[in-house]
Amino acid sequence: MGPFILKRIGQTLITLLLLTILIFTLARLTGDPTPLVMPSEATDADRTFFREQYGLDRPLHEQYLVFLRNILSGDFGVSFRYREPAMNLVLAAIGPTLQLAGLSMLLAIIIGVPLGIAAALRQGSWFAAIVRGYAGLGQAMPSFWVGLMLIMLLSITLPIFPSSGYGGVANFVLPCVTLAFFASASVTLLTWANMTEAMRSDFVQMERVLGIPNRLIVLKHALRNASLPIVTYLGLQFGLLLGGAVVTERVFAWPGVGQLVVEAILNRDFPVVQASVLLTAVLFMTVNLCVDLLYAVLDPRVSA
């Protein structure tokens, strides 16, 4: 187990180093931020000063080395746009994003896993047909549309939940449901398929012959066997939600990382882009590492 963990951590660090090169280069490919940051009244001297101040006048490799040295000392630079430390902006955004992603995933698991199991146990029934319909809709409907429909229904027509904004518990409902709708559909289908396979396996048949109670077979043996792909998917989906819930964040004015990074890219705010992507990547890799470790727990052959 020890060497396995060390190997995975080593791989994670190398990936991060490569990522710093990639994100640094890609950010600069978007062009010079000066016209976006400086007002039209600024003189050429002001514009030159801006470039010098942020080292944008230096050769790219020099800029990269400075960037690398700074991030190793915890300095991710200052946002061109807001003049705040970039990492402060990202840390302020990561909280709302983690909350949204975490609750959405929880909701997706709460809905998706029982539905998938139930559908697998009642193949061909009307219940399975409803579950299939639910999963199909969840995967087919774009999240911005779901979000807007929820606002129309549950904020405008029936004023139950706030239409947007970040703050109280009620603010979480619509964005969480929007995100969980898609994720739960995937979890349902994945659970359904894997549980079906597990329930048909030889060991389950054997357990039935041995007279082990059905509940125990399903929840302890079949579900454990079916859980590996589900855990993998949840890990990936959580990582995607960390950086990719842009549409949902925008529709619900959720001040998360997804929107922050998109705004930063559009405004060529390099320090914020770099800090956001790196932090998100670290979180994503940490989640993946945890998933790998969980794999090892669920299936000891993985770490063997």
Partner 1 sequence: MTLATDNGSHQAFLGHQPIGRRAVAGGLIATALASGLGGAKTAAAQGKPPLVVAAGTDIITLDPCRIAGGNDYLFFANVFEGLYSHDENGRLAPAVAESHTVSPDGLKYEFVLRSNARFHNGDRVTAEDVRFSWQRAIAPETRNPRASVLVANIADVEVLGERRCRVLLKARDASFMENLGEYWYIISKRHAESAGEAAFERQPIGTGPFAFVERRIRSHIKLRSFDEHWGRVPQVGEVTIKIIPDDQSRLAQVQTGESDLVINIPPVLAAPLQRMPDLKVIRAPSFQNIYVAINALGGNPILAKSEVRRALNMAIDKNILLRTVMLGFGTAQDLPCSPGLLGCDVSVQPYGFQPDKAREILSKAGFEFNKPLRMVGQGSGRVPQARETLQGVATFLNRIGIKTEITMLDYGAWIAVYGGKEKDPAVDLIFANFTDYNSDPSGRLLRSMRTGASYSWYSNPEVDALLAKMNDFSSPEERASFLHRLFAKLHEEAPLIPLWSTDSIYAASRTIKWKPTPNVSWPVLWNVEKAG
Binding site for partner 1 (CB under 8 A): 30-33, 35-44, 46, 49, 81-85, 88-89, 91-93, 95, 148, 151-152, 155-156, 159-171, 250-253, 255, 259-260, 263, 266-268
Query: How far apart, in whole angstroms, are the C-alpha atoms of residue 243 and residue 98?
Result: 10
Least Å distance, CB 271 to partner 1, is 14
Nearer to partner 1, 204 or 251 (CB): 251
Nearer to partner 1, 171 or 191 (CB): 171
Structure token pair of residue 63 = 């800029």
Count of C-beta atoms within a 10 Å radius of residue 122: 13
Nearer to partner 1, 113 or 279 (CB): 279
Q: Nearest to residue 184, comparing CAs of 239, 99, 258, 114?
A: 114
Cα within 13 Å of Cα(131), Cβ side: 27
Buried b (16+ CB within 10 A) or exposed e, 238-259: bbebbbbbbbbbbbbebbbbbb
Nearer to partner 1, 169 or 304 (CB): 169
Nearer to partner 1, 31 or 213 (CB): 31
Nearer to partner 1, 171 or 188 (CB): 171
Least Å distance, CB 98 to partner 1, is 14
Query: How far apart, in whole angstroms, are the C-alpha atoms of residue 228 and residue 224?
Result: 8
Cα within 13 Å of Cα(243), Cβ side: 18
Residues found in the chain? 304
Least Å distance, CB 63 to partner 1, is 19
Least Å distance, CB 40 to partner 1, is 6
DSSP H/E element including 90: helix 86-121
Nearer to partner 1, 96 or 112 (CB): 96
CA dist list (Å): 209 to 59, 106, 160, 217, 220: 73, 35, 52, 11, 16
Least Å distance, CB 99 to partner 1, is 11
Cα within 13 Å of Cα(224), Cβ side: 13
Q: What is the 3-state secondary structure (H, E, C) of 135-169?
A: HHHHHHCCHHHHHHHHHHHHHHHCCCCCCCCCCCC
Least Å distance, CB 53 to partner 1, is 8
Least Å distance, CB 258 to partner 1, is 12
Query: How far apart, in whole angstroms, are the C-alpha atoms of residue 110 and residue 105?
Result: 8
Least Å distance, CB 181 to partner 1, is 18
Distance in angstroms between the alpha carbons of the first and the last residue of the chain: 8
Nearer to partner 1, 67 or 161 (CB): 161
